[in-house]
């Protein structure tokens, strides 16, 4: 068929193919985490590596570069031009790294991550750092090549993979401000909460009941069970494909809050994926915008909505119906429980208020690490100093629940951490914009009507996918690019209000 | 690396790649049946079609033909030569059909199978046959091309895809004998059982208890849960990959025997797959030998072993422990229940003795159908006549539980049906050979020692994979090619003994 945009059309056909093959990668990856028995591991790894090599070959095919150049001069609509922008970005990222380096990275991170699984419980920093040096060396090389391809600094080039358009200059400013007021706020909230009595729910909480509760809450939050599932994995995540979103959680019978809040968090990710525009699917413009925007959805659900004083009574009722009545399930007690602030060593267990301190610690270490300003051996001392400064915690000698606690560094995932807190900032900004648009928003939520929230997110975030660059997405959604004032206002209102 | 067998080595590399990509096809196909929510269907179909096209391209690459020709003259070991034989077979089957015909088949069978799902419950033969004519036309074209490529007759060429080396001349002889004595045997057994009192277990049978029972029996039968799983699907099957076998069943709370015996059947398939030689995996020589040999494993487990009077007491005990004691769970009653003969309309519900009659009916219709001796419109009259003749059942006017009952024909799977009964014959032959080798076999089974059975199957079938052609496999295992006398002796001993 002759069209006025033959190069663009050829690109779309290639991306549709990538989308379809990527579907199998996503499902097999999910299955590996959720269902695969141990002896299937080696064959699955070989199968996924074969597909990854195939996809890499398709994404780096030289013909793509020529097609992108030719498509640039074709008469494209705005949507097509946005799609071409994302295709170019994907092509640049894919071709920036030679296969030899990609293979070296695979080897280094696989070895480091595998050993880390036992080194972490053994508190073995020395053993870890022996492998980690090679991970770091590869990441620096990667950063250098990506920096050359993008014109960004080395750390920024890594971060750009997850958060296109974000730079460390901006993060430095945002986190610099944050670290000024956060420790003081934590301190004030801690003093205020010191006199509070919080009743802790008594278990055990049968796993089957927890699962029913999670599914009920997911339904309440609009998860489409005809287009997705909830299952169990060691590390909860949101996987699958937009047409079939697979979220996972993990259950412990002495605690239900972990699985419940984790499930709500993943439900936010899932609704973003389930509501990406169907008519664009298969093309890069249909991808979720960025990891910070993705986190803004999970945190909009977990922190803005589920902990909202207008929503907590519904949750309290659901808990009583699931596990039987307890004093601890009284709405005001549950509200206190969900907003309890307690500095701790573990990021994934942190409350809303101390969580960003964990992110800042990691950012302030990994940025200079990638830029070559510090070395791997400098990490523990920096960790201890920053944890003391930001959270008042003494972490000396504890590597296990210190710099060894996250899988990101062993896996070479540098530049991801900032997205968590950027996402929390965006989430607060979205809710501030919603309230300006609908002054009755909080009353609606308290009346059990969550539709205004879903409608707003659908209109301004989900349906937009990657059509706009992130700053433009934020401006169109909320009238301004990322503005951390909303985050501060949200935290102060919730914890001091 | 220089070797003396460069062409053969190149072929192995290509087949290893096919094996790895096929892994993803198997897991995504299993997931589709077991877990996929309905709205994921379209995207999954597109993803699997993309992969199928990719695999077809790899399997029909012209370079393969040249490599196979060159490898033939290389200094190969016996194992390598067996592998090359299977590679050639795969290449011939893949290249015999032009893509246009493959696509036409996909369309015709997808349309026919989809409509069949509602036509069957509606008893709508006329509606079905309108679509089925195209399925048949395509199958005949396929058969003609495969016949040209193999030198076989048209039906034989289709059957050869599932049962290499088997011909309708042999099946005619085997089934011709069988249809001589089977109706009489059924008649005699029916008369004999007429006076028996069989107590039927009282439900309901909680699904969770049924699942535990199935997993317990699977463990007893040696299924390796570190290399596979049991899940639920509408149509039970054995899927996954040899390194990670996924079997499925379905539970009904008013009956446990269906899921239990189905699970035992699939466990037989699964142990074959789980025990294919690890060191050959990735190459065609490691594939299960044929569908009849596969069925011989499932039926060895289901009919030879699980219904064995030495095994039934263990099963009876497990039932009592699972569902609580009942008179119906007395070993002698359970034995009668499991060997109850009752002619019926539905193949998949048939007992051991009437099952082959169902297979003969289908074979005697589909063979002349493919050879062009009869037409689709002739099926109902033939069906009614043969069901009356072989099972004494009047099926006139009932298409739903008549020729519309199986998915095979709507899906264009001609030539598969004989494998069920050939498998039952092989299973009886294996047990006869085992008894010659170990005269204490039945005593061992009754003493709870199943290892002699597993060891024999491992040594003679599982570990041999596709090393030998089927006749040679049978001769090495049991001293003779397929000999139906063992099947008759088994049935007469069990039902008249």
Chain A residues with CB-CB distance to B31 below 8 A:
27, 31
Distance from CA of B275 to the nearest CA of A (A): 13
Chain A residues with CB-CB distance to B54 below 8 A:
21, 54
- Give Cα A450 distance to the centre of its chain: 23
Chain A residues with CB-CB distance to B49 below 8 A:
20
- Give Cα B85 distance to the centre of its chain: 23
Chain B residues with CB-CB distance to A241 below 8 A:
40, 43
Chain A residues with CB-CB distance to B28 below 8 A:
23-24, 27-28
Given the residues B134, B142, B266, B295, the one annotated as active site: B266
Distance from CA of B242 to the nearest CA of A (A): 9
Which pLDDT score is estimated for A235? 86
Q: Quick check: helix, strand or coil at residue B232?
A: strand
CB B257 within 8 A of CB B241: no
Which pLDDT score is estimated for B1? 55
Q: Which residue has the tokens 């609009």?
A: A222
Percent of chain B with pLDDT over 90: 97
Chain B residues with CB-CB distance to A230 below 8 A:
none
Of A228, A244, A273, which to mutate for an interface test with B (greatest number of B Cβ within 10 Å)? A244
CA distance B30 to B233: 9
* Longest alpha-carbon distance in chain B: 75
Segment (H or E) for B418:
helix B418-437
CA distance A305 to A314: 12
Radius of gyration for chain A, computed over Cα atoms and rounded to the nearest angstrom: 23
Chain A residues with CB-CB distance to B24 below 8 A:
24-25, 28, 47-48, 51
Of B14, B244, B246, which to mutate for an interface test with A (greatest number of A Cβ within 10 Å)? B244
Radius of gyration for chain B, computed over Cα atoms and rounded to the nearest angstrom: 23
Which pLDDT score is estimated for A1? 56
B321 belongs to the catalytic site: no
Query: Which residues have CB under 8 Å from B66's CB, separation 6+?
Result: none
Of B43, B219, B231, which to mutate for an interface test with A (greatest number of A Cβ within 10 Å)? B43
* Nearest-by-Cβ selection for B241 from A35, A43, A51: A43
Pairwise CB contact (< 8 Å): A40 & B224: no
The chain A residues in contact with chain B (CB within 8 A) are: 17, 20-21, 23-25, 27-28, 31, 35-40, 42-44, 46-51, 54, 224-229, 241, 243-244, 281
Of B27, B44, B45, which to mutate for an interface test with A (greatest number of A Cβ within 10 Å)? B27
Helix and strand element counts for chain B (H, E): 20, 3
* Nearest-by-Cβ selection for A243 from B43, B54, B244: B43
- Chain A residue with CA closest to B29: the answer is A24
Query: Which residues have CB under 8 Å from B151's CB, separation 6+?
Result: none
CA distance A424 to B388: 73
Q: Quick check: helix, strand or coil at residue A232?
A: strand
Instruction: Tokens for B470, please give them.
Output: 């089927």
Query: Which residues have CB under 8 Å from B347's CB, separation 6+?
Result: B355, B358, B359, B362, B405, B406
Query: Which residues have CB under 8 Å from A170's CB, separation 6+?
Result: A482
- Give Cα B319 distance to the centre of its chain: 27
The chain B residues in contact with chain A (CB within 8 A) are: 17, 20-21, 23-25, 27-28, 31, 35-40, 42-44, 46-51, 54, 224-229, 241, 243-244, 281
Distance from CA of B239 to the nearest CA of A (A): 13
Pairwise CB contact (< 8 Å): A241 & B40: yes
Helix and strand element counts for chain A (H, E): 20, 3
Which residue, B482, B475, B372, is CA-closest to B426?
B482
DSSP string, B257-299: HHHHHHHHHHHHHHHHHHTS-GGGTTSGGGS-S-HHHHHHHHH
Strand ranges (E), A148-237 = 228-232
Which residue, A81, A83, A80, A165, is CA-closest to A474?
A165
DSSP string, A332-348: HHHHHHHT-----S-GG
* Nearest-by-Cβ selection for A27 from B28, B46, B54: B28
Edge to edge, what strands does the sheet with B244-249 contain? Answer: B228-232, B244-249, B238-241
Chain A residues with CB-CB distance to B20 below 8 A:
43, 46-47, 49-51
Q: Which residue has the tokens 């067998």?
A: B5
Pairwise CB contact (< 8 Å): A40 & B241: yes
Segment (H or E) for B229:
strand B228-232
Distance from CA of A459 to the nearest CA of B (A): 22
pTM of the model: 0.94
* Nearest-by-Cβ selection for A36 from B24, B46, B244: B244
Query: Which residues have CB under 8 Å from A150's CB, separation 6+?
Result: A92, A96, A157, A160
Query: Which residues have CB under 8 Å from A377's CB, separation 6+?
Result: A129
Which pLDDT score is estimated for A497? 86
Query: Which residues have CB under 8 Å from A409's CB, separation 6+?
Result: A132, A135, A366, A403
Nearest 5°: phi and psi at B440?
A: -90, 15
Query: Cis link prior to B39 (omega < 30° from 0)?
Result: no
Instruction: Give the pairing of strands B228-232 and A238-241.
Output: unpaired
Chain B residues with CB-CB distance to A17 below 8 A:
50
**pLDDT tens digits, chain A, 497 residues: what are they?**
578 999 999 999 999 999 999 999 999 999 999 999 999 999 999 999 999 999 999 999 999 999 999 999 999 999 999 999 999 999 999 999 998 998 899 899 989 998 999 999 999 999 999 999 999 999 999 999 999 999 999 999 999 999 999 999 999 999 999 999 999 999 999 999 999 999 999 999 999 999 999 999 999 999 999 999 999 998 889 999 999 999 999 999 999 999 999 999 999 999 999 999 999 999 999 999 999 999 999 999 999 999 999 999 999 999 999 999 999 999 999 999 999 999 999 999 999 999 999 999 999 999 999 999 999 999 999 999 999 999 999 999 999 999 999 999 999 999 999 999 999 999 999 999 999 999 999 999 999 999 999 999 999 999 999 999 999 999 999 999 999 999 999 999 999 98
Given the residues A142, A266, A273, A295, the one annotated as active site: A266
Pairwise CB contact (< 8 Å): B31 & A27: yes
pLDDT in tens, B157-196: 999 999 999 999 999 999 999 999 999 999 999 999 999 9
Pairwise CB contact (< 8 Å): B23 & A35: no
* Longest alpha-carbon distance in chain A: 75
DSSP string, A72-96: HTS---HHHHHHHHHHHHHHHHHHH
ipTM: 0.94
Size of interface A-B (CB pairs under 8 A): 105
CB A25 within 8 A of CB A55: yes
* Nearest-by-Cβ selection for A37 from B44, B51, B225: B225
Pairwise CB contact (< 8 Å): B244 & A40: yes
Which pLDDT score is estimated for A304? 97
CA distance B255 to A413: 52
Of B20, B45, B231, B275, which to mutate for an interface test with A (greatest number of A Cβ within 10 Å)? B20
Distance from CA of A190 to the nearest CA of B (A): 45
CA distance B204 to B92: 52
Which residue, B318, B272, B279, is CA-closest to B293?
B272
**pLDDT tens digits, chain B, 497 residues: what are they?**
578 999 999 999 999 999 999 999 999 999 999 999 999 999 999 999 999 999 999 999 999 999 999 999 999 999 999 999 999 999 999 999 998 998 899 899 989 998 999 999 999 999 999 999 999 999 999 999 999 999 999 999 999 999 999 999 999 999 999 999 999 999 999 999 999 999 999 999 999 999 999 999 999 999 999 999 999 998 889 999 999 999 999 999 999 999 999 999 999 999 999 999 999 999 999 999 999 999 999 999 999 999 999 999 999 999 999 999 999 999 999 999 999 999 999 999 999 999 999 999 999 999 999 999 999 999 999 999 999 999 999 999 999 999 999 999 999 999 999 999 999 999 999 999 999 999 999 999 999 999 999 999 999 999 999 999 999 999 999 999 999 999 999 999 999 98
Distance from CA of B9 to the nearest CA of A (A): 18
DSSP string, A282-338: TSGGGS-S-HHHHHHHHHIIIIIITT-TTTHHHHHHHHHHHH---GGGSHHHHHHHH
The sign of the dihedral angle between the CA atoms of B56, B60, B62, B63 is: positive
- Chain B residue with CA closest to A21: the answer is B47
* Nearest-by-Cβ selection for A37 from B54, B227, B281: B227
Which residue, A287, A340, A338, A290, is CA-closest to A313?
A338
Distance from CA of A434 to the nearest CA of B (A): 30
Pairwise CB contact (< 8 Å): A39 & B241: no
Distance from CA of A271 to the nearest CA of B (A): 14
CA distance A191 to B273: 64
CB B132 within 8 A of CB B117: no
CB B221 within 8 A of CB B178: no
The DSSP symbol for B304 reads I
Distance from CA of B285 to the nearest CA of A (A): 18
DSSP string, B323-365: H---GGGSHHHHHHHHT-----S-GGG--TTTHHHHHHHHHHH
């Amino acid at each position: 068929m002759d069209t006025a945009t033959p190069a663009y059309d050829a690109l779309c056909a290639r991306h549709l193919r990538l989308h379809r093959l990527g579907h199998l990668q996503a499902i097999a990856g999910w299955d590996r985490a959720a269902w695969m028995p141990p002896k299937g591991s080696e064959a699955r790894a070989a199968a996924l590596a074969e597909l990854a090599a195939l996809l890499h070959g398709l994404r780096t095919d030289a013909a793509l570069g020529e097609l992108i150049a030719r498509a640039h001069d074709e008469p494209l609509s705005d949507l097509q031009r946005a799609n071409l922008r994302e295709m170019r970005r994907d092509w640049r990222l894919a071709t920036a790294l030679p296969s030899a380096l990609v293979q070296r990275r695979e080897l280094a991170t696989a070895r480091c991550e595998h050993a880390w699984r036992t080194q972490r419980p053994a508190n073995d920093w020395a053993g870890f750092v022996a492998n980690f040096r090679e991970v770091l060396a590869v990441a620096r090389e990667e950063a250098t090549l990506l920096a050359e391809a993008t014109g960004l600094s080395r750390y920024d080039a890594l971060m750009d993979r997850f958060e296109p358009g974000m730079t460390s200059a901006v993060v430095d400013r945002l986190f610099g401000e944050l670290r000024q007021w956060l420790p003081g706020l934590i301190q004030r909230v801690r003093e205020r909460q010191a006199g509070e009595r919080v009743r802790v729910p008594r278990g055990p909480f049968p796993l089957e009941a927890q699962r029913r509760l999670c599914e009920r809450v997911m339904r309440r939050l609009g998860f489409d069970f005809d287009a997705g599932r909830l299952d169990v994995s060691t590390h909860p995540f949101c996987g699958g494909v937009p047409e079939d979103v697979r979220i996972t959680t993990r259950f412990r019978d002495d605690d239900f809050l972990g699985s419940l809040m984790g499930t709500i968090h993943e439900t936010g990710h899932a609704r973003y994926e389930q509501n990406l525009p169907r008519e664009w699917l298969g093309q890069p413009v249909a991808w979720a915008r960025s990891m910070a925007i993705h986190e803004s959805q999970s945190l909009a659900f977990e922190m803005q909505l589920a902990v909202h004083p207008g929503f907590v009574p519904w949750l309290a009722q659901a808990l009583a119906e699931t596990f039987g009545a307890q004093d601890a399930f009284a709405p005001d007690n549950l509200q206190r429980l969900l907003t309890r602030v307690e500095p701790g060593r573990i990021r994934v267990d942190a409350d809303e208020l101390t969580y960003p301190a964990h992110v800042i610690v990691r950012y302030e270490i990994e940025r200079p690490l990638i830029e070559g300003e510090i070395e791997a051996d400098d990490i523990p001392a920096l960790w201890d100093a920053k944890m003391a400064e930001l959270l008042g915690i003494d972490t000396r000698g504890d590597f296990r629940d210190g710099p060894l606690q996250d899988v990101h560094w062993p896996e070479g995932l540098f530049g991801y951490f900032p997205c968590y807190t950027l996402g929390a900032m965006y989430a607060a900004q979205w809710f501030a914009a919603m309230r300006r648009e609908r002054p009755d928003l909080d009353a609606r939520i308290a009346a059990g009507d969550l539709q205004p929230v879903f409608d707003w997110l659908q209109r301004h975030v989900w349906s937009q996918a990657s059509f706009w660059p992130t700053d433009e997405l934020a401006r169109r959604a909320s009238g301004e690019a990322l503005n951390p004032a909303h985050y501060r206002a949200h935290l102060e209102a919730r914890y001091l209000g």
